[in-house]
């Protein structure tokens, strides 16, 4: 269609230069004719056909893919023949049949991807690389020559392929005896002194005698069981244990038998860890006088289900319900200490040391009322000589809004806070002023300060309990509940990084996760964390350094193909300054050593899910393969000439050169 306008353009250009004044030579006319024709052709093409299309026909033959598992587990032998050699017979017969029927057969080895390490088998990763490598649109079937042991978390990706996958069930027998701990299951977190169940799945191959299974924490053996495999080769063992150490407890389960010399010991143990928490957090109130402030504080703290509260009176001695007690014993499991001073609260030298150590080790302290002179070194202010109280309203400062406890208070609710009876105090340089008194001096009302690992909050006033009488929505209770939780939470609880396991194989992907919370234990989204990974033999320089990624409010970093050895990591947040450390071990053994025999059930599942065939050797010989059908397809290649700069350049050059020559030769 475009040829007609082009021919017309050429003829018009030739007609225009058939006669010229003055008369030109033939070569001059032809040159101008050529330049005019080129300009017109470009204009016509851009107007009528700005996209050039070319068509070509190709013959497409049906093809099949042979995926050969070449991981280290395929080298294992049973009855003097390896798993890979067992499947080679299947491979040769099918290859011959498919070639005879005209199929194009393509071969790919896979393990940890198509060209990855042989120390792991990831089918999903291999398929993803395969799709990026070749066009699988005309693939009729996939033949999977594998033992069926994969490290993929799930196999949902096979449904998306929409291609039948054929798998095989060779008559293979693993003759060597072996004991294996398949898995260990338990709650990720438990509470101190609670009975925690741990379920261990174990298996024995070609072994009918007794074995011993041990549950360990570090070098300590927690429990031991004797297992009889004479009747059952697969057993589930239930351990029950009460953990008394708070924090991350490392666990290890081992199995052994004196009567068995195993070739494969890598699957005789499994490591993990469990997080042990306190059942409830504890708040201790000490006061020289029982006042309304204490009653409303008590109700506010009890509204939080994770907290329990105790009250001690302090005059000449410390008492709990008229019984004399010692502060050293009462403060043992306390997270937050509240001191309410009505001018007469005093502590001995020993008690001052106990309180100082408590805060230094991560405890929280809240002071209400007049400053305690004997503990003046702890508080974020210094005492003034003015002993009387004054009345005034409080207002929160901009500095307070960097803390979620204060930021969560609605601005309309702040107006409900009644005037308080306050003492004048002088803030220390390191103190943060979170609220001020609305007076001429703008004196400090709420002060905050870090003290070693602990936190100290000071309210040099009384009367805030009246806020509860005015707030119908429980804003008073929420404020003090969040405040006590914040003071009683250590920095390591608010920002901590962790791994799923304590030990990994060198072929595994190691994921380090981060949990970050604000002071009210709500997840933070403003995290900008960096991780530095160190190896124990070179702890000065990190082997890797990167920023953590974010997905669905979860922060993580992944490491692959790490060399065997002990590793430690440091995660630091550029926003909050929080830091968290941890460690793990990369084992010299690889996970392929656990893959004994064939995973027939998974191979059958893959074939069923993809409408493929699950075949043994007899099925291979009887299998009828239809003749390959070739297809003729037409491919269209399009060239958008309107996007090509050189087409426009050709027009401009021809047009301008024609004008120049016309003027030079006297035609203009």
Quick: pLDDT tens for 532-548: 998 876 667 888 999 98
The pLDDT assigned to 9 comes to: 75
Query: Would the pLDDT of 488 be above 90?
Result: no
> What are the two backbone dihedrals, phi and then psi, of residue 506, each rounded to the nearest 5 degrees?
-65, -20
The SS3 assignment for 133 reads helix
On whether both 130 and 46 belong to a single domain, the answer is no
Q: Where does a domain end: 444, 464, 486?
A: 486
Domain with 621 in it: what CATH number? 3.40.50.410
The SS3 assignment for 116 reads coil
* Inside any domain, residue 34: yes
On whether both 231 and 313 belong to a single domain, the answer is no
The pLDDT assigned to 7 comes to: 79
Q: Residue 521 — very low, low, confident or very high, per pLDDT cuts 50/70/90? A: low
The pLDDT assigned to 14 comes to: 75
- Proportion of the chain above pLDDT 70, given as a percent: 90
Give every strand in the sheet of 139-145, ordered side by side. 104-110, 63-69, 139-145, 165-168, 614-615
The pLDDT assigned to 89 comes to: 83
> What are the two backbone dihedrals, phi and then psi, of residue 461, each rounded to the nearest 5 degrees?
-160, 170
Quote the CA–CA distance of 131 and 127 in Å, as a whole number: 6
Query: Would the pLDDT of 225 be above 80?
Result: yes
- DSSP letter string, 608-662: HHTT--EE-HHHHHH---PPP--EEEEEEEEEEGGG-HHHHHHHHHHHHHHHHHH
Quote the CA–CA distance of 447 and 436 in Å, as a whole number: 9
On whether both 315 and 452 belong to a single domain, the answer is yes
Quote the CA–CA distance of 127 and 133 in Å, as a whole number: 10
Chain-centroid distance, C-alpha 241: 30
Structure tokens at 445: 């009302």
Quote the CA–CA distance of 266 and 389 in Å, as a whole number: 72
On whether both 303 and 337 belong to a single domain, the answer is yes
Helix (H) or strand (E) holding 310: strand 307-314
Q: Residue 207 — very low, low, confident or very high, per pLDDT cuts 50/70/90? A: confident
Structure tokens at 10: 């050429």
Task: Decide: 297 and 285 in contact? Cβ < 8 Å.
Answer: yes
- Structural domain that includes position 568: 492-591
pLDDT digits (tens, 9 = 90+) for 66-84: 888 888 777 777 666 778 8
Quote the CA–CA distance of 50 and 31 in Å, as a whole number: 26
Q: Which one has a higher pLDDT value, 48 or 327?
A: 327
The pLDDT assigned to 350 comes to: 93
Which distant-in-sequence residues (6+ apart) come within 8 Å of 161 by Cβ?
127, 136, 142, 610
On whether both 334 and 315 belong to a single domain, the answer is yes
On whether both 384 and 475 belong to a single domain, the answer is yes
pLDDT digits (tens, 9 = 90+) for 155-171: 878 877 788 888 888 88
* Inside any domain, residue 634: no
Of 87-91, 378-382, 581-585, least confident by mean pLDDT is 581-585
> What are the two backbone dihedrals, phi and then psi, of residue 286, each rounded to the nearest 5 degrees?
-125, 130
Q: Where does a domain end: 447, 462, 486?
A: 486
Q: Residue 355 — very low, low, confident or very high, per pLDDT cuts 50/70/90? A: very high
Q: By CB neighbour count within 10 A (0-12 exposed, 13-18 middle, 19+ buried), where does 387 fall?
A: exposed
- DSSP letter string, 250-264: EEEEEEE-TT---S-
**pTM for this model (two decimals):** 0.48
Domain with 530 in it: what CATH number? 2.60.40.1930
The pLDDT assigned to 65 comes to: 86
Per the DSSP assignment, residues forming a β-bridge with 78 are 81
Q: Residue 490 — very low, low, confident or very high, per pLDDT cuts 50/70/90? A: low
On whether both 290 and 395 belong to a single domain, the answer is yes
Query: Would the pLDDT of 305 be above 80?
Result: no
Quote the CA–CA distance of 621 and 623 in Å, as a whole number: 6
Task: Decide: 361 and 454 in contact? Cβ < 8 Å.
Answer: yes
* Inside any domain, residue 635: no
What's the rounded mean pLDDT across residues 400-413? 79
CA angle 575/581/582 to nearest 5° reads 140
pLDDT digits (tens, 9 = 90+) for 131-142: 888 877 778 888
The pLDDT assigned to 461 comes to: 93
List the one residue out of 451, 527, 528 whose CA is nearest residue 490: 451
On whether both 437 and 500 belong to a single domain, the answer is no
* Inside any domain, residue 651: yes
- C-alpha distances in Å from residue 497, one per residue of 71, 513, 515, 521, 573: 33, 6, 6, 15, 11
The pLDDT assigned to 21 comes to: 78
Q: Where does a domain end: 486, 514, 543?
A: 486
What's the rounded mean pLDDT across residues 399-428? 84
- C-alpha distances in Å from residue 263, one per residue of 406, 536, 639: 63, 30, 64
Domain with 265 in it: what CATH number? 2.60.40.10
What's the rounded mean pLDDT across residues 102-124? 82
Which distant-in-sequence residues (6+ apart) come within 8 Å of 108 by Cβ?
65, 66, 67, 68, 114, 126, 130
CA angle 491/497/500 to nearest 5° reads 140
Spell out the long-range contacts of 158-164 with Cβ–Cβ below 8 A and sequence spacing 24 or more.
Answer: 158/123, 158/127, 158/606, 158/609, 158/610, 159/609, 159/610, 161/127, 161/136, 161/610, 163/136, 163/139, 163/610, 164/140, 164/607, 164/610, 164/611, 164/612, 164/613
On whether both 496 and 470 belong to a single domain, the answer is no
What's the rounded mean pLDDT across residues 159-186? 79
Task: Decide: 507 and 117 in contact? Cβ < 8 Å.
Answer: yes
- If one counts every other C-beta atom within 10 angstroms of the C-beta of residue 409, the result is 17
Q: Residue 520 — very low, low, confident or very high, per pLDDT cuts 50/70/90? A: low
* Inside any domain, residue 555: yes
Chain-centroid distance, C-alpha 271: 21
Query: Would the pLDDT of 175 be above 60?
Result: no
Query: Would the pLDDT of 668 be above 90?
Result: no
Chain-centroid distance, C-alpha 69: 29
Average pLDDT in the chain: 82
Q: Residue 428 — very low, low, confident or very high, per pLDDT cuts 50/70/90? A: very high
> What are the two backbone dihedrals, phi and then psi, of residue 32, each rounded to the nearest 5 degrees?
-65, -35
* Inside any domain, residue 596: no
Q: By CB neighbour count within 10 A (0-12 exposed, 13-18 middle, 19+ buried), where does 597 fall?
A: middle
Structure tokens at 614: 């699950």
> What are the two backbone dihedrals, phi and then psi, of residue 630, each rounded to the nearest 5 degrees?
-90, 155
* Inside any domain, residue 392: yes
Query: Would the pLDDT of 519 be above 90?
Result: no
What's the rounded mean pLDDT across residues 166-186? 78
Q: Which one has a higher pLDDT value, 400 or 636?
A: 400
Torsion sign over Cα 597, 600, 605, 611: positive
Per the DSSP assignment, residues forming a β-bridge with 112 are 122
On whether both 210 and 307 belong to a single domain, the answer is no
On whether both 252 and 389 belong to a single domain, the answer is no
* Inside any domain, residue 72: yes
Q: How many domains does the chain have?
A: 5
On whether both 608 and 574 belong to a single domain, the answer is no
Quote the CA–CA distance of 42 and 38 in Å, as a whole number: 6
Structure tokens at 303: 């509204």
The pLDDT assigned to 332 comes to: 86
Quote the CA–CA distance of 126 and 138 in Å, as a whole number: 19
């Amino acid at each position: 269609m475009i040829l007609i306008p082009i021919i017309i353009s050429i003829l018009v250009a030739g007609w225009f230069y058939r006669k010229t004044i003055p008369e030109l030579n033939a070569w001059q006319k032809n040159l101008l004719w050529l330049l005019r024709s080129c300009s017109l052709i470009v204009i016509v093409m851009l107007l009528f056909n700005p996209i050039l299309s070319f068509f070509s026909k190709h013959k497409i033959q049906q093809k099949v893919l042979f995926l050969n598992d070449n991981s280290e587990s395929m080298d294992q032998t049973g009855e003097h023949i390896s798993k890979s050699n067992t499947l080679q017979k299947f491979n040769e017969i099918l290859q011959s049949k498919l070639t005879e029927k005209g199929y194009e057969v393509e071969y790919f080895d896979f393990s940890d991807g198509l060209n990855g390490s042989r120390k792991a088998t990831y089918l999903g990763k291999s398929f993803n690389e395969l799709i990026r490598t070749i066009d699988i649109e005309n693939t009729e079937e996939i033949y999977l020559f594998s033992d069926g042991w994969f490290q993929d978390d799930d196999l949902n990706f096979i449904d998306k392929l929409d291609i039948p996958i054929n798998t095989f069930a060779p008559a293979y027998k693993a003759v060597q005896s072996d004991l294996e701990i398949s898995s260990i299951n338990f709650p990720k977190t438990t509470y101190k002194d609670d009975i925690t169940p741990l379920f261990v799945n174990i298996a024995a191959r070609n072994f009918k005698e007794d074995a011993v299974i041990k549950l360990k924490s570090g070098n300590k053996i927690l429990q031991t069981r004797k297992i009889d495999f004479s009747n059952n080769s697969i057993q589930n063992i239930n351990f029950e244990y009460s953990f008394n150490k708070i924090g991350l407890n490392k666990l290890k389960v081992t199995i052994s038998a004196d009567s068995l010399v195993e070739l494969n010991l890598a699957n005789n143990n499994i490591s993990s860890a469990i997080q042990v928490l306190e059942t409830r957090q504890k708040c201790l109130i000490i006061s020289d006088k029982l006042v309304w402030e204490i009653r409303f504080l008590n109700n506010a703290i009890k509204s939080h289900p994770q907290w329990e509260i105790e009250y001690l009176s302090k005059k000449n001695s410390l008492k709990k319900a008229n019984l004399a007690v010692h502060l050293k014993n009462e403060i043992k499991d306390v997270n937050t200490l509240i001191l309410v001073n009505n001018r007469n609260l005093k502590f001995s030298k020993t008690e001052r040391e106990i309180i100082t150590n408590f805060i230094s080790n991560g405890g929280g302290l809240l002071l209400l009322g007049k400053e305690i002179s004997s503990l003046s070194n702890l508080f974020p202010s210094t005492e003034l000589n003015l002993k009387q109280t004054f009345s005034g309203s409080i207002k929160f400062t901009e500095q307070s809004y960097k803390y979620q406890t204060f930021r969560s208070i609605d601005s309309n609710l702040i107006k409900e806070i009644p005037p308080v009876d306050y003492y004048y105090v002088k803030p220390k340089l390191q103190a943060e002023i979170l609220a001020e008194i609305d007076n001429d001096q703008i004196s400090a009302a709420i002060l905050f300060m870090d003290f070693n690992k602990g936190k100290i909050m000071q309210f040099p006033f009384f009367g805030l309990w009246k806020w509860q009488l005015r707030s119908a929505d429980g804003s008073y209770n929420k404020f003090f509940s969040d405040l006590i939780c914040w003071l009683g939470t250590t920095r390591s609880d608010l920002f901590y990084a962790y791994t799923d396991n304590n030990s990994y194989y060198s072929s595994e992907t190691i994921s380090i996760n981060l949990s970050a919370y604000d002071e009210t234990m709500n997840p933070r989204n403003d995290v900008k964390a960096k991780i530095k990974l160190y190896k124990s033999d070179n702890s000065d320089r990190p082997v890797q350094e990167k920023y953590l990624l974010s997905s669905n409010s979860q922060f993580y970093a992944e490491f692959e193909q790490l060399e065997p050895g002990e590793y430690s990591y440091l995660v630091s947040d550029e926003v909050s300054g929080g830091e968290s450390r941890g460690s793990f071990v990369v084992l010299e053994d690889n996970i392929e050593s656990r893959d004994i025999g064939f995973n027939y059930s998974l191979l059958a599942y893959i074939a069923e899910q993809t409408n493929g065939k699950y075949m043994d050797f007899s099925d291979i010989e009887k299998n009828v393969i239809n003749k390959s059908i070739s297809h003729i397809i037409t491919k269209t290649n399009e060239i958008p000439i309107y996007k090509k700069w050189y087409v426009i350049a050709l027009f401009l050059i021809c047009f301008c050169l024609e004008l120049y020559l016309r003027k030079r030769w006297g035609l203009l």
